[in-house]
Structures are given as structure tokens and as C-alpha cells.
Structure 1
Amino acid sequence: MPILTRRSFLANGSLAACAFRTRNLFASTTAAPTIVHTPSGALRGESSAGVRVFRGVPFAEPPVGPLRFLPTQKVSPWKGEREATQFPAAPMQHKQLDVPHSEDCLYLNLWAPEGTGPFPVFVWIHGGGFTDGHAFESMYDGTDFAREGIISISVEYRLGVFGFLDYEPLLGEQYAGSANNALRDLMTALSWIQKNISAFGGDPARVTISGESAGAKLIGTLMGIPTAQSLFHQMISESGGAERIWDHAASAAVAKGFGDIWQKQSGSDLTSLKTAAGAALIQAQQEFMETWPHHFPLRAELDGTLIPRLPVETIAGGSTRGKRLLIGTNREESAIFLGPHPAKDATAIQLGNMSVAKFDAVYQKYKEIYPQLSVQQRRIRAVTAEEYWIPSLRVAEAHLKGGGSAYVYELEFQETSGRLKDNAYHSLDVGMVWNHPHEHVADAAAEAALGKQMHTAWAAFIRGEAPAAPGLPAWPLYDEQSRSTMIFGEKASAESRVEQSPQAAELQLWNETL
């Protein structure tokens, strides 16, 4: 079986979709109209079975024409009633989707309970490697959360070269910091929520930001942005971290690499980037990513203003003091990228945060820590640690050092059928948290039961309570002495990963390297 890298996974829509299952959203033919008057203007949405839905709500001016590659501009208030019954276009990306793509993508979708509230607010940031994905994937249908008294919001942001490329070296000082435009998009969305959510019955003082994969990495970065802290009050990170960021020199090198590809492919000078068709930029982006020697070249940067230093340093310094964090990973995240039986050691395009040489120095010691695992299992575990587990723990421990509190989990549940059987692979947790588990697997009932438990615990956390659910043992707060972790397997259990445990030895190994 050929190795499936994250690069090819994200580029192949059918493969990426295998992690999710399609669900029907509200059908407009059965929903009644509902109108909400917000400070930004009136919105006409739909209401069905006690849940109001508003789709395609603008939170920013379209970043098109003269606003391309520039910082996000807040949306201007509109007059009259704005129709909010259709999802927006997906952000520009290479992945083939059965929906339109557009640079005009800065919209959110909102599911709210009927009633006046005040309701806690759950804001979801989708994943996709910073280059793919969208906010209206059917898995992110917020109906279940809304029925439980929680406003659920999914947010779109600029992807790829539209949201994560520094154009200052290519187009001049006006574009300084443009590699952080996607983060500015998210902050603008959160600012819109602070201003407008009361109109839907939401409580602007109880906003939880959450995301998975790239979305979780953006959560980690937002935690390290001083000017973002008033926009949210607690965080959920699923398979994230805060390592995916360039210094200014690396960001400039990436920009030059893309600029060279653009000039070669288009036959035009760099100023044509301002007016070229969006599809042409995506075509150049794809060639650039296929030839760049490292994975994930498009990422945020330390610009000295929005992001003054490494996010984990800012977090440890107290940026999220007093806030609560729920954070965790899946045990065999990387099986979805390496394959369930990887035949070769990791390569540069399979590592997210370090060189092969540095990774190999750690990996060579895995046999000593996990002698009972097969070579294939150790490969998956080590790459999972490099990309997800260790970065997530670094965020948790920085958050504790900075005066916050954290609940840590690990998903160990393994599906018993399908290509990835016997692996708790990347994205498996998403359907469980949203209470939309896989329906066509051999152990569907067990997955549904665990999913209900996780969904209930997440909802409790969003409401400001300790994460809890029927049948779930008490979830202790994480600390660096016990490293208490909630294990979601066939049966949930709370585990202390003290010094004599293999996980503690693995963590120590990574800490010595990093």
C-alpha cells in the first residue's frame, strides 16, 4: 500500500472525506422563517424543532479586489433583512469539493436554541492543514449542541496563500504581517460575536473557542496573541499544539519560493498577484507545495506585532491566566497519513515541526521505551508525538505555568473495521464530540455510546462546568506531577502518567530534545 502523506490526504477530497460521514442538515422546505435584529443588521434564518439556524452570516468585508492579502476589515452594517438560509462558498483551495470556492469567504454559521438565554457560545474552527476545509461540513451541524442550550458557531477563514503567506517581500510594506491574515479573520469573527451574540440569546462572557487539527493549532496560536484574549474565555483543542509557526526569516523564504513559482508559471511580474484570478493563485500554490522540501510551508509567522513571540512562551507568561483549557489527542493520529502499516521511517513531508535528523534522534529510542510495540506501531506513535501529542502537552503545561487550568484526554478507541481498523486515528474524535459518530462500522454501537459520553462532557465544559457525563469517572485537573489524563477507550478511565509509566519516559525524551 502506498504511503499517504498529509499533503496527498488533503489534496484528495475523497480521502479526506473518509474521516467524516455525511448527515442531512435542516431542509429549508420544513423550516419556518425566523428573524433576529443584531447591531450589524437584521438576519432572516430558519427555525425547526426548537433550533434557529443562520447560515452565511458576514462578519467581515469581502477580502477581494483592493482588500486582497490585506488585514481583515469589519463588516459594515447592512440595511433591511439579510437572507441567512444558505451556506457561503468555501474558501479558495485546491481540494475538489461539491460546493463553490471563493475569495469572498468570511462568513459564519450559527445554530441557536429558541429562547432568550443567556446561552454559552461554542465557536468551531475547522481543520485542513491551513490550505483546505470549510465551516459547513455536515459533521459540524450544531443542532445537537443547540438542543442542549448551547449556541454553536462555525467560522470560515482565508486559507493557503490567501491567509498564510507573507506578501511583504513580494509586494511591499503595505502587506507586512499578511501571513497572519487568517488569524485576523478569526479575531474579527470573535469580535463580531462579542458585539452581536446577545441578539441570539448568547452570553458574550461565556465564549469557548474550539478546533481540531489545523483548527486546534490556530487555537494554540490565539492563546498566545495578547490582543485576542478579551474575545474568548476558555478553549478546547483536539489534536493541536502551537508549534506551527515561522520566524520572519523562514516566512520570507517561503514567500520568495512562492513568488518564484508564480513568475515562472504566470509569466508575469509579482504585481500581478494583486489582480490575478484566484484559481491561478491556487494552481501556483499547489505546484509550490509539491516542490517545497518541507511540510506545511504556509503558516502563521512571528511578526513582532500580532504575534510578538512563540505562542507557548506568551502562554507561559500568563496570556491565558485564569482561563480553562480542554486539550487532547488520539493515540494513533498519524495512521491516517502513514497508513496503518507504514513500511518506512518518517520523511520530511510527514513531519510537521522538525527535521528528519532531529526526529530520528528521538525515534531511535522508542524501542527502548515501547519494546512491546511492533516497528510499524512505533513509527505511528513517534510521528503522532512529533505532530500532535507533544505540542499539545507543551500548550497544556505552558497554560498551567501561566496561571490557567487544564483537562487533558487521549482517545484510545479503535474501530474494528475499515482501512484504519485497530487505530485511534486522526479525526476519529470529531464525530464523537459532535455526537455524529460513524454509522457504517462494525462497532457502531460502541462508538455511538462513547461519542455520546464525549459530547456530553464537552457540553458540560462549554457551560462552564467540569467535563462530566454519565458513566465517566471524575476527570481530574492536569498537573505536572500526576499528569492526570482521561482515557477514552472501550471504557473511559482516568490515568495518572507518573514517572515510571512509558508515556512519562516518552515525554521526557521529547522534552530533552526540544
Structure 2
Amino acid sequence: MITRRSFLANTSLAACSVSTRHLFAFTPVAPAIVRTPSGSLRGESIDGVRVFRGVPFAEPPVGPLRFLPTEKVAPWKSERDATKFSAAPMQHKQLDVPHSEDCLYLNIWAPEGSGPFPIFVWIHGGGFTDGHAFEPMYDGTDFACEGIISISVEYRLGVFGFLDYEPLLGQQYAGTANNALHDLMTALSWIQENISAFGGDPARVTIGGESAGAKLIGTLMGIPSAQPLFHQMISESGGAERIWDRAASAEISKGFGDLWQKQSGETIANLKTAAGTALIQAQQQFIETWPQHFPLRAELDGTLIPRLPVETIASGSARGKRLLLGTNREESAIFIGPHPAKDATSIQLGNMSVAKFDAVYQHYKDIYPQLSVEERRIRAVTAEEYWIPSIRVAEAHLKGGGSAYVYELEFQETSGRLKGNAYHSLDVGMVWNHPHKQVADAASEACLGKQMHAAWSAFIRGETPAAPGLPAWPLYDQQSRSTMVFGANANAESRVEQAPQAAELKLWNETL
């Protein structure tokens, strides 16, 4: 059985195959030179798209800067080669690319011309412990061909980005459970200061992400000091609930410190100089043995994050901004499988205890009598992890003076183990216009992918999300809860539903 822990390292591999025209340049490649306030960059121009890889936005968080909040990159004097991707962040996932603590870089796909172009900044997923920004799926060529600058951003993962070292190493390390958020905000600051050199419009920055990336989007919405750095948001399978209070964060830190000393025989102080691979090994053992799922996450520190993000959003932190947000109907099928052997345990729940979950789940047979036991379980775990947290973000954003477009993907995979499910990450390949090609109904998936990609592009440009063949997509409100449902197969067209899953939502609201 594939668990969420074992799967998250391979989210993108499950999501799509990639158009080879983005990977192999059969047309001439010309140099592309851009002079930014940070320094000159030499990238490549391919088919009218300028590509700049491995662009630093922060000082390397190594040596004396290990575990500390991000420092802005110092300008460089000579022309910098931007034709190669940087290393991936340190992680347990086995990749065919280098890993390094020196990972704070971004990648840019920009149209030719002076613009001004809208900007799409992508934050990858991976459970806060895995993934990287230059997976082929995130190739931004298609967005650039449509007049959008696409940027993918690296951030520190696991114990480098989401562990509070203050209880272990002292006050200098206060708030370090939010290092990844500092990384992302530093990247967004770099974009504000430098993107005009690429023809970008710093007043039109859309931040987007999927899974852990979408949860970071929800958290950024609730950080007051981050608001000048972006103007609208896209959240795919997210929410804003995966955050510890200080007491829970300190308990996590102590647990990791105890394991580190026992496993390594080293002192706590040696965390500052230990090999990165040793820290990753300790991290993996810690995750596998800690009783709560996703122990490494951001912290309600009272400074960067003053209150729970949903509360801050509801009070107007992202007032006036537009949000595009949604989930997939059977997200959790990919983690717990179509034929689960047992009821939900803490290893499958991201936001609550088993006891709280069971209080809701025991009523699922009443509202979904037509579903099998495994179908009900997949639906309930999906709601706990993705759907309910996403709805809470949307409704908090409306309360805080923002607007939202909400969607649900019910397109069902047409072959393989997950046939018949709209599983977690299936939407990503469609949004990037890189859908599966080796499936039974590849034509339908490609068609829906073109529609979703076009709708996302329209939203990034500041328009109503729309595409040929899609019905008009109305704004979400708490009364009608208008939701765009992307169709299940070639014979089920996309449609707008009013108050979808009303009984299920009522159950969650009343029980909790």
C-alpha cells in the first residue's frame, strides 16, 4: 500500500508526462542576456522564450547561516551563467539531480519583448520534505508563449526549513520553523526588485502552488508582511491549517533533538556542523517514528505569523485580492489505495486527531449510502486533508474582503491502479498543459488540460478564468457556493454546481 509519506516524494511523477519539445531543443538556441539590479544573467532563448535557470535570490544558507532566516543575495559583478538548474534542496527522496543546502534559486521562463507581462510564481509540493522547482512538469514554456512570465522557486525543506531550533540552539534561532516561508518571501522580494528587467510587471504577481505548495500559499495569505509581494493567489489541494502553535513546535524540536543525540552519539551543538546527509537520515527516522503526521511544519510564532492564518485572512490580511482555489474529488485514493485494509490512522490524517476524524466519519454512511466502504473512506480522508481546509480558506477570504473562484476536479483517471479516481496531483499536469499521454482516454485528458491551462492563464492575466468549451465561471459566495466542476470523462462536460456536497459540508461544520 502506498502511504502519503511514501508518495509525496513522487507527486509530480504520478501527475503527468512531459512534452519533449520543452526538454530537447531541435531549434537553434541563442544566448539571452538580461541586466538586473542584482547583476547580469546569461540564459537561453528558445522558440521565442527566454529561459534563465538557477538564479540566486538569497545568500546560501550554509556554514554560519545554516538554520537561520534567509539573507538577501548580494549583487554579483560579472555576468552569471543562468543556463543550468541549481541543486535540489536536501531531502530523503532519491533524485537523479544533486542535492545541496545551497538551494535558494529560482527559474524564469519569459516571453521575448518588453512587456509588461503578468507573473506566475510556482511553489512546488512534496509534504514540506520533498520535491524541487525544476521538475520537467513545471517547465513554463507554455505560459511564456501566452505572454506570462513563469517562475519556479526553491525553498528549504524538512529540518532545514520547518524545525524550530530555538529550544535546541538558543534564541538566535527563534522562529526557524518558518525558514521556508522566509525563503519564499525573499524570493518574492527579489522578483519585485528585478522582474522588470525581464519585461515583468511587479504589480501583477500571482503566487500558486499544489499540495504543500498550496498550503504555503494559504499561510502566506495570512502573513501581513507578505502582502505587498503578491496580488492574487492560486491554491490547488491546499488549505491553511497545517501549522503548529509554539508549544507543539517546541515538543517536535525536543523530539528531534533527542533522536539526533541517540542516533548520532553527537551533542545538540553538533547540529550546526553535522553533514547534511546525516541530518536527513535523522529526519527520516524521526518522521517514521513520530506519532503525528507531518511533524515538520510552520509555526505560529507571533511575529511572522501573528495568528492562525485562517483567522488573519478572515480579518482582511488579503483584502481585495483574487483567489482561485480547488481540490480533486478522490485526492486520498493515491495514499490509502482503492481497497484500504483498515480504518484511518494518524499516518493518513494531516490536520486532526483520529478521535475527531472518527466523530465525522461515522456519519458518512448516512450521507453516502450508495458508496462502498473504501469509497466513503477515501472521500472522508480527502475532506479532512484538502477539501474542508480549502473551503475554510475560501470563506475566510470572502469574509476578509477578497474574492474567490472555486473548482473541483472530478475527471477520472482512465487506466492503471487509480482508474476511476480524481486523485491527488492529477490536476497539476493539466494546469501546466502536460497531461498524461499513455492512458486509455488521453484525448479527453488533453482536452480538459487545455481548458484548465487556458482558464488559469486568464486568471493570471487578471481576467475571469475562462476557456473555450467551459461554462461561465461565477464567483464563489457562501450562499450559492458556485463551483466549477471539471468533468469526469469525455461524456461528462464541465459544469457549474451550486452548493456541491452540501450534506457533507454540513456534517463537518456541525461536528467540528
Q: TM-score range by the shorter chain?
A: over 0.9
Counterpart amino acid of residue 333 in structure 1: E
- Partner of 2:14 in structure 1? 18
CA contact (8 A) 2:12 2:135 kept: no
Partner in structure 2 of residue 343 of structure 1 = 341
Which digits, 9 at most, give the CA deviation of each residue in 1:240-263, with x for residues without a partner? 000100000000000011001110
- Aligned match of 1:32: 30
Measure the CA separation in 2 of the matches of 1:125 and 1:475.
25
Equivalent in the alignment of 2:139: 141
Whether contact under 8 Å (1:208, 1:236) holds in the other structure is yes
Partners of 2:58 and 2:506 in 1: CA distance: 44
Hey, what's the Cα distance between the residues in 2 that align with 1:103 and 1:482? 47
Aligned match of 1:107: 105
Instruction: Return the alpha-carbon distance in structure 2 between the equivalents of residues 86 and 23 of structure 1.
Output: 19
CA distance in 2, matches of 1:9, 1:465: 35
Query: Would the aligned equivalents of 1:259 and 1:270 in 2 still touch at CA under 8 Å?
Result: yes
Identity %: 83
Contact 2:15 2:427 (C-alpha < 8 Å) held by counterparts: no
1:76 paired with 2:74, answer yes
After superposition, give the CA deviation of every residue in 1:131-159 in whole Å (9 maximum; x if it has no partner).
00000000000000000000000000000
| Cα distance, 1:73 vs structure 2 | 0.2
Q: How does 1:51-66 map to 2 (within 5 A)?
A: 51-66=49-64
The amino acid of 1:176's aligned partner reads A
For residues 12 and 467 of structure 2, what CA distance do their matches in structure 1 show?
30
* C-alpha contact (below 8 Å) 1:220/1:237 kept by paired residues: yes
Q: Check conservation: 2:14, 2:425, Cα contact below 8 A.
A: no
Alpha-carbon deviations, 1:39-76, whole Å to 9, x = none? 00000000011100000000000000000000000000
Stretch deviating more after TM superposition (160-169 or 487-496)? 487-496
- 1:493 maps to 2:489: no
Query: Which 4+ stretches in 1 moved above 2 angstroms?
Result: 15-30
Counterparts of 1:396-415 in structure 2, within 5 Å, are 396-415=394-413
Q: Is the 8 A contact 2:59 2:74 kept in 1?
A: yes
What aligned pairs does 1:214-363 form with structure 2 within 5 A after superposition?
214-363=212-361
Tell me by how many angstroms 1:508 deviates. Answer: 1.5
Following superposition, the deviation at residue 342 of structure 1 comes to 1.8
In 2, the alpha carbon distance for the partners of 1:256 and 1:16 equals 33
Amino acid at match of 1:226: P
Asked if the contact 2:18/2:434 (under 8 Å) is kept, the reply is no
> Which whole-Å CA distance do the structure 1 matches of 2:310 and 2:104 have between them?
28
Give distance in 2, aligned partners of 1:92 and 1:80.
28
Residues 331 and 425 in structure 1, CA contact (< 8 A), matched pair in contact too: yes
2:65 is matched with: 67
Instruction: Describe the SS at the equivalent of 1:18.
Output: helix
Alpha-carbon distance in structure 2 between the residues aligned to 1:16 and 1:398: 29
State the AA in 1 paired with 2:247: A
**1:9, distance to aligned residue in structure 2 (A):** 1.6
SS of residue matched to 1:399: helix
Count the aligned residue pairs: 506
- Counterpart CA distance in 2 for 1:143 and 1:288 is 39
SS at match of 1:210: strand
Deviation at residue 512 of structure 1 after TM alignment: 2.2
Residue of structure 2 equivalent to 1:41: 39
Q: Which residue of 2 aligns with 1:174?
A: 172
2:415 aligned with 1:417: yes
* Conservation of the 8 A alpha-carbon contact between 1:120 and 1:207: yes
Map of 1:473 onto structure 2: 471
Measure, in 2, the Cα distance between the counterparts of 1:263 and 1:72. 27
Answer whether contact 2:132 2:154 (CA < 8 A) is retained: yes
* Rounded Cα–Cα distance in structure 2 between residues aligned with 1:326 and 1:264: 46
For each residue in 1:462-511, what CA deviation from the matched residue of structure 2 results, as whole angstroms up to 9, or x when unmatched? 000000000110001000000000000131101101xxx6x111111112
User: Aligned partner of 2:253: which letter?
Assistant: A
Q: C-alpha displacement at 1:20, in angstroms?
A: 3.2
Q: Provide structure 1 residue ranges, at least 5 long, that are not aligned to the other structure.
A: none
Q: Secondary structure at the match of 2:163?
A: coil
Higher mean alpha-carbon deviation, 425-434 vs 488-497, is at 488-497
Asked if 2 retains the 8 angstrom alpha-carbon contact of 1:343 and 1:376, the reply is: no
| SS of aligned partner of 1:120 | strand
Maintained 8 Å contact 1:123/1:210: yes
Q: CA deviation at 1:27?
A: 4.2
* 1:154 partner SS: strand
1:392 to 382, 390, 393: 390
Contact 1:72 1:185 (8 Å CA) reproduced: yes
For 2:8 and 2:147, how far apart are their aligned partners in 1?
34
Asked whether the equivalents of residues 322 and 402 of structure 2 are also in contact (C-alpha less than 8 Å), the reply is: yes
Contact 1:43 1:83 in 2 (8 A): yes
Which letter does structure 2 place at the counterpart of 1:492?
A: S
Matched residue SS, 2:15: coil
Q: Give per-residue Cα distances to partners, 1:282-333, cap 9 Å, x unaligned.
A: 0000110110011100000000000001000000000010000000000000
The DSSP-based 3-state class of the residue aligned with 1:174 is: helix
Letter in 2 for 1:319: S
Aligned-residue CA RMSD (Å): 1.1
The one-letter code matched in structure 2 to 1:375 is: V
Partner residue in 1 for 2:363: 365
- 1:359 offset after TM fit, Å? 0.2
Aligned-partner Cα distance in 2 for 1:251–1:203: 38
Question: 1:513 deviation in Å?
Answer: 3.0
Normalising by structure 1, report the TM-score: 0.97
What secondary structure does 1:123 align onto? Answer: strand
Query: Deviation at 1:416?
Result: 1.5
**Using CA pairs below 8 Å that are at least 6 residues apart, which structure has the higher relative contact order?**
2
Distance change (3 Å), C-alpha of 1:457 and 1:22: closer
Q: Deviations over 1:202-258 (max 9, x none)?
A: 000000000000000000000000000000000000000001000000000000110
Do the aligned residues in 2 keep the contact of 1:34 with 1:47 (CA within 8 Å)? yes
Q: 1:154-179 CA distances to partner (integer Å, 9 max, x unpaired)?
A: 00000000000000000000000000
Q: Is the 8 A contact 2:88 2:103 kept in 1?
A: yes
Distance in structure 2 (CA, Å) of the matches to 1:23 and 1:133: 20
**How far apart are residue 80 of structure 1 and its match?**
1.4
Rounded to whole Å, the distance in 2 between the matches of 1:457 and 1:151 is 16
Q: Does structure 1 conserve the Cα–Cα contact (< 8 Å) formed by 2:415 and 2:440?
A: yes
Shift of 1:336: 0.4
State the distance in 1 between where 2:14 and 2:404 align.
Answer: 31
**TM-score, normalised by the number of residues in structure 2:** 0.97
